[in-house]
Chain A
């Protein structure tokens, strides 16, 4: 084995040859060779990078008529692959899914790219961000025939620029066992949460960084009114509420009723969350490990729309129809933990049994949310975090 380097490298390994052409530093030339090798690698990598395929189920070979529709959506969008495939088989339209972060980030990306839209259709804008999307004019009106099966209360835009697809409720969840062990009644209302009996028990998400956090803020605005809701939060702060950045930290980290076995038995989550904590199907509905407090809920409605300037508007309209079809609607609860808007859609048994829909959830109109969202978050931040 030759000594690879160091000043002591012995020269006799080299076959004598005439020295390199004068004026060309050998070191530089070797650098040039290295450069050539690396340039080849760039070219190769660029080709390799382009060939990596996406893993989306509906992203198979194009359908018989070879059309493609691009759907811009948020990170929580999910659908069973066979359901998506049934759409491609029936319509000949292949669905390409683009994900753009959470709902707020997705809407902002759509607004930013209005001139040259990223996609043909958008799914996942909710009532808390709807007015920004509508004000920016990113949607083209489309009235789906399937809308006839959707109750009036979900139709948020009379001009049909957006079509409701699903809804869910953000509610305070409670750890039943903890309350049983401490011989304490479950809180019956939002007002209860600020009472001394429930001191240091609740964890909430920051509305500036979390969608359920924002929904819960809106529930309190709806409940206590635009002039008194902050007083309630001041009392809640004095009562030892904990604020974390996101749902995952709150639910899996701080909440005592879930996997993290944290210290707090009350958390802001979803009305459907208790279904996930049931491990034994024979559990009675009033014995679930956790329970959503149905008097504390804010309703979120998720909508879809055809993007203005879409390259395939016709295919996008067919996709909107599909989102309201029986098949897709029946798939919604099991995949996204939300409820279908289409009347008469069968729910999975776990939803029927363990996730009752709150009868009178709080709501705030999209226009009012749009006009006040930033100011409310700013006020909340001032009271709660500074």
Chain B
């Protein structure tokens, strides 16, 4: 088998997964809108493109996503540096903490922001209670983890000796960062940026809850046209606009990322992390830590604070009441059962995402056509670019479109999954797999193929080469990707909210139901359940931090 053939075979699994569970349902629902009754009718598309209001919505969607992404990057990089390169006590706790916002259901984030910045709240003067800046601030809070973890995953392994050499040769800190560190980090930064951009581009709950009724994005408009008005023609036209924008954004990202022509001498993380030195070093570290804490902690504290507020002062009443909601409660699911259901879904979704994303990453990190001529190389690159874009699309297409597509596409055997409990983890995996890909590819690309060849020449079996060369290097990145995938599923991102779903009460569903009931008790218990979800996430991430698989322990 030629290498190209083998790559095709490897790519087939993730491509088929995305084709069946994403492209086919989306094509079915968009097709029903654009080809009603078998006759193509593109007039809705023309209307959407020329209607000034819809054009305004499209521009606003792109603008808020770009602004949110830029701010998340700028504010996230210091945290990535701190958690990847600086050896300070409590680092693993902080690393676990930054992921917590990522799993919070959007309604809860909305509540947290309102209780911090809303009318009459402690920080009302900042004006982040509602409107555009509230959306952007919530996006930064939410996606901070993607930048810290994805960029940090590569940063932790960059050889510090190159920076030291630059410093020795007289370059200042800033010059060293700009001309040595930044170019090496670029693939990871662009990876993180494209994920954050797509999350912000299709953000639904935050726009609705914090944006207020005057703000629409493509996502909320598609939701309105599909779920509320059942106007499939306009919805399909908007979905096409969304797809075009996402493909364009991904192409820009790919250009910016470039292809790494030089491999990096990656180092174990324990060797790259340095203790801060001197007053300046500690002051810089302190500033970075303060930034991370300022970004992540206030909304979390606000939630916990409200969970212990009772009519008679501070107390654990809401937690006790929540625990008491046993079989006969309004929710007919105890928090423990909801927790178990959440964990089951998250484990299944993570397994699928790691498998699909892992296979895809192996293919995407290849150097195409090394043996063939320039034409083969070009073809190979184009193929990889297409696969890369295809796998990322589920992040950039409306969850409503996917959910309603499921209804009309997956409706007959062998794919009659509409009422299957497997549908939820599968939908989560669609969103989670790109996170695994983005975490793995920058690291896999950096591995010098000579290492593997050398090991093979020296007689290592393929399995052993993989175990001793690839695994130790990618293990950390794989854990990062798997951790984010797990968090995505635990927080019930997007897609599944709009699917007719079997009545599995997960923790976010429990929180959602509590929040939609009147009365101080239901509200307090929703906050208590959110706090439990936060602690659980932090705990799970801390556990991941401690996983050491044989030699992987070195990383």
User: How many whole Å from A108's CB to the nearest CB in chain B?
Assistant: 4
Question: Counting CB contacts under 8 A, is A246 at the interface?
Answer: yes
Question: Counting CB contacts under 8 A, is B40 at the interface?
Answer: no
* A49, A50, A98, A259: the one within 8 Å of B520 (CB): A259
In chain A, residues 1-54, which have Cβ atoms closer than 8 Å to a Cβ of chain B? 1-7, 9, 11, 14-20, 25-35, 38-39, 41-42, 44-46, 48-50, 52-54
In whole angstroms, how far apart are the Cα atoms of A20 and B460 in the complex?
Answer: 9
* B341, B359, B501, B519: the one within 8 Å of A258 (CB): B519
Binds A, one of B138-146, B167-175, B406-414: B406-414
Is the CB–CB distance between B115 and A18 below 8 Å? no
Known: A14-B459, A46-B352. A97 touches B208 (CB 8 A): no
Q: For B354, what are the chain A residues with a Cβ–Cβ distance below 8 Å?
A: 38, 41
Question: Counting CB contacts under 8 A, is B50 at the interface?
Answer: no
Is the CB–CB distance between A101 and B498 below 8 Å? yes
* B110, B226, B412, B465: the one within 8 Å of A30 (CB): B465
Question: Counting CB contacts under 8 A, is B6 at the interface?
Answer: yes
Q: For B419, what are the chain A residues with a Cβ–Cβ distance below 8 Å?
A: 70, 96, 98, 118-119
* A18, A45, A52, A254: the one within 8 Å of B352 (CB): A45
Is the CB–CB distance between A4 and B472 below 8 Å? yes
Binds B, one of A73-81, A148-156, A187-195, A226-234: A73-81
Q: For A334, what are the chain B residues with a Cβ–Cβ distance below 8 Å?
A: 330
User: How many whole Å from B128's CB to the nearest CB in chain A?
Assistant: 14
* B3, B328, B516: the one within 8 Å of A75 (CB): B516
Is the CB–CB distance between B10 and A270 below 8 Å? no
Question: Counting CB contacts under 8 A, is B345 at the interface?
Answer: yes
Q: For A80, what are the chain B residues with a Cβ–Cβ distance below 8 Å?
A: 328, 332
Q: For B458, what are the chain A residues with a Cβ–Cβ distance below 8 Å?
A: 11, 14, 16
Is the CB–CB distance between A269 and B518 below 8 Å? yes
Known: A108-B226, A112-B404, A243-B213. A50 touches B421 (CB 8 A): yes
Is the CB–CB distance between A50 and B469 below 8 Å? no
Is the CB–CB distance between A72 and B333 below 8 Å? no
Binds A, one of B89-97, B265-273, B283-291: B265-273
Known: A9-B451, A75-B512. A48 touches B351 (CB 8 A): yes
In whole angstroms, how far apart are the Cα atoms of A246 and B515 in the complex?
Answer: 11
In chain A, residues 242-287, which have Cβ atoms closer than 8 Å to a Cβ of chain B? 243-249, 251-254, 258-263, 269-270, 273, 276-277, 279
Interface residues in chain A, defined as those with a beta carbon under 8 Å from any beta carbon in chain B: 1-7, 9, 11, 14-20, 25-35, 38-39, 41-42, 44-46, 48-50, 52-57, 59, 70, 72, 75-76, 78-82, 96-102, 104-106, 108-109, 111-113, 116, 118-119, 132, 206, 208-209, 243-249, 251-254, 258-263, 269-270, 273, 276-277, 279, 334-335, 337, 374, 385-386
Q: For B213, what are the chain A residues with a Cβ–Cβ distance below 8 Å?
A: 206, 208-209, 243-245, 385
Q: For A44, what are the chain B residues with a Cβ–Cβ distance below 8 Å?
A: 351
Q: For B214, what are the chain A residues with a Cβ–Cβ distance below 8 Å?
A: 385-386
Is the CB–CB distance between B426 and A49 below 8 Å? yes
Q: For A45, what are the chain B residues with a Cβ–Cβ distance below 8 Å?
A: 348, 351-352, 355, 425, 429
* A35, A52, A101, A132: the one within 8 Å of B341 (CB): A52
Is the CB–CB distance between A30 and B328 below 8 Å? no
Known: A29-B462, A49-B422, A108-B226. A260 touches B404 (CB 8 A): no
Is the CB–CB distance between A81 and B332 below 8 Å? yes
Q: For B457, what are the chain A residues with a Cβ–Cβ distance below 8 Å?
A: 19, 26
Question: Counting CB contacts under 8 A, is B524 at the interface?
Answer: yes
Q: For B351, what are the chain A residues with a Cβ–Cβ distance below 8 Å?
A: 41-42, 44-45, 48-49
Q: For B551, what are the chain A residues with a Cβ–Cβ distance below 8 Å?
A: 1-2, 4
Q: Which 6 A-B pairs have the closest CB atoms?
A: A276-B519, A17-B459, A26-B456, A45-B351, A30-B466, A29-B462
Is the CB–CB distance between A81 and B328 below 8 Å? yes
* B119, B341, B521: the one within 8 Å of A254 (CB): B119
In chain B, residues 475-518, which have Cβ atoms closer than 8 Å to a Cβ of chain A? 497-505, 512-513, 515-518
Is the CB–CB distance between B114 and A260 below 8 Å? yes
User: How many whole Å from B551's CB to the nearest CB in chain A?
Assistant: 6
Known: A19-B457, A246-B208, A248-B515. A118 touches B422 (CB 8 A): no
Binds A, one of B72-80, B182-190, B227-235, B372-380: B227-235
Is the CB–CB distance between A113 and B452 below 8 Å? no
In whole angstroms, how far apart are the Cα atoms of A247 and B340 in the complex?
Answer: 29
Is the CB–CB distance between A35 and B228 below 8 Å? no
Question: Counting CB contacts under 8 A, is B22 at the interface?
Answer: no
Is the CB–CB distance between A48 and B348 below 8 Å? yes
Q: What string of 1s and 0s marks CB contacts (under 8 Å) between B359-390 and chain A? A: 10010001000000000000000000000000
Is the CB–CB distance between B352 and A27 below 8 Å? no
Interface residues in chain B, defined as those with a beta carbon under 8 Å from any beta carbon in chain A: 3, 6, 10, 13, 17, 107, 110-111, 114-115, 118-120, 159, 208-209, 211-214, 224, 226-230, 265-268, 311, 327-328, 330-333, 337-338, 341, 344-345, 347-349, 351-352, 354-356, 358-359, 362, 366, 404, 407-408, 411-412, 418-422, 424-426, 429, 448-449, 451-466, 468-470, 472-473, 497-505, 512-513, 515-524, 551, 554-555
* B333, B352, B498, B515: the one within 8 Å of A42 (CB): B352
User: How many whole Å from B168's CB to the nearest CB in chain A?
Assistant: 20
Q: For A81, what are the chain B residues with a Cβ–Cβ distance below 8 Å?
A: 327-328, 332
Question: Chain A: which residue is nearest B309 at the CB level?
Answer: A259
In whole angstroms, how far apart are the Cα atoms of A209 and B227 in the complex?
Answer: 10
Is the CB–CB distance between B107 and A248 below 8 Å? yes
Sample of 6 more A-B contacts, CB < 8 Å, known A42-B356, A209-B213, A276-B519: A49-B421, A78-B330, A101-B497, A112-B230, A243-B213, A248-B111
Is the CB–CB distance between B404 and A109 below 8 Å? yes
User: How many whole Å from A174's CB to the nearest CB in chain B?
Assistant: 14
Is the CB–CB distance between B355 and A253 below 8 Å? no
Q: For B107, what are the chain A residues with a Cβ–Cβ distance below 8 Å?
A: 248
Is the CB–CB distance between B518 and A277 below 8 Å? yes
Known: A45-B348, A252-B523. A1 touches B554 (CB 8 A): yes
Is the CB–CB distance between B456 and A277 below 8 Å? no
- Name, among B213, B267, B355, B454, the residue most crowded by chain A CB atoms within 10 Å (CB to CB): B213
Question: Chain A: which residue is nearest B350 at the CB level?
Answer: A45
Is the CB–CB distance between A252 and B228 below 8 Å? no
In whole angstroms, how far apart are the Cα atoms of A112 and B400 in the complex?
Answer: 13
In whole angstroms, how far apart are the Cα atoms of A262 and B229 in the complex?
Answer: 32
In whole angstroms, how far apart are the Cα atoms of A26 and B213 in the complex?
Answer: 58
User: How many whole Å from B476's CB to the nearest CB in chain A?
Assistant: 11
Is the CB–CB distance between B470 and A262 below 8 Å? no
Question: Chain B: which residue is nearest A104 at the CB level?
Answer: B228
Is the CB–CB distance between A248 and B516 below 8 Å? yes
In whole angstroms, how far apart are the Cα atoms of A258 and B337 in the complex?
Answer: 29
* A7, A30, A105, A112: the one within 8 Å of B228 (CB): A105
Question: Chain B: which residue is nearest A78 at the CB level?
Answer: B330
Q: For A254, what are the chain B residues with a Cβ–Cβ distance below 8 Å?
A: 119
Is the CB–CB distance between B268 and A52 below 8 Å? no
Known: A116-B411, A248-B516. A30 touches B469 (CB 8 A): yes
6 contacts between A and B (CB under 8 A): A4-B472, A17-B460, A39-B13, A49-B351, A252-B523, A258-B523
Q: For B10, what are the chain A residues with a Cβ–Cβ distance below 8 Å?
A: 31-32, 35
Q: For B228, what are the chain A residues with a Cβ–Cβ distance below 8 Å?
A: 104-105, 108, 208-209
